[in-house]
Amino acid sequence: MFSSFDNKSVFISGGCGSLGSALVAKLLTTKTRRIVIFDNNQSKLAEIERRNPDPRLRFFVGDVRDYPRLCRGLEGCEIAFHCAALKIIPSCEYNPAETIKTNVMGSQNFVEACLDTEPEIAVAVSTDKACSPLNLYGATKLCMERLFIAANRYKGSRKTIFTCVRYGNVLGSAESVIPVWTEQASMGKITVTSPEMTRFTITIDQALDFIFNSMRYARGSEIFVPKLKSYKVRDLATAFLSMNSREISVEEVGTRIGEKDHELLINEHEVRFTYELPFGYMILPPDQAPYEGASKVSTLTEYSSANVDHHTSQELVQILKSA
């Protein structure tokens, strides 16, 4: 799986985030030549540097809003991961201009910087919230997907492959529900929006494996989607509470602005251009022919967290223990 990283230089925007940090840790187990961690969180960069004295690491203080700095960080890199984003939904709704500057304009800067520095592949990390978006975060991630897909059409003779991966909630990632509940539990109460809500879930290790598998199939302009189970919010809360010995109450606060009852990974329109792979699905542009080993999806009408198998509370306990 990791042979493609041998002696390669890798760039990670948002390298201090949950996924970025996990990518760094995983890549350090490979024969990667150099890993450029690009982030605007100076203290987090310093913390990672203290924990990891590996000479292959390079620490770049920078922001995806800064195009020249992106170009400098990408120099000499063969593989580029775009993980940087503002992602906290209520904050994005309250700060729309800042969200657009980072998630949309920053993504365009990333694309343009890759066109100038020509890595072999550029991978954008998206979210289920980009599919038929209801909130600003999802809308900006949809824009990011479109920017990467379009880049393959106007890159000319440049060698870079632009591709996207789209998956569900990573349990335990920064500012996700589990860290929030853990903080709330110390005060004896957790809040839930709607117990009947469903969400896709993926562990960080599953996410990394899915990204690396997708890269092996990428030719450009794809959106890769994993096959995932989902969970009901009430089942996740039950699993979380069962792991705590103290008495914790649950308060239902209702659906917040920008939240769906159920998430989508592939909508009814994208299904027409969706192909099945051994490890997931691949959405292609309408005029792009499928690849060998990919079969057209025929039974799926939409890929929703409401119509896939749900994790039981017991399964969620095991996932939480390993997260």
Residues with catalytic function: 129
Cα gap 105→291, rounded to integer Å: 31
Q: Which two tokens stand for residue 307?
A: 């119509």
Cα gap 206→96, rounded to integer Å: 31
Query: Residue ranges of the alpha helices (H) in the chain?
Result: 18-27, 42-51, 67-74, 89-94, 96-100, 106-117, 136-154, 177-185, 204-217, 233-242, 313-322
Q: Which residue has the tokens 């690491």?
A: 57
Give the CA distances from residue 250 to residues 176, 189, 247, in Å, rounded to whole numbers and listed in that order: 17, 6, 10
Helix, strand, or coil (residue 273): helix
Q: Which residue has the tokens 């096959």?
A: 227
Cα gap 79→180, rounded to integer Å: 33
Q: Which residue has the tokens 């063969």?
A: 78
Neighbours of 296 (CB within 10 A): 11
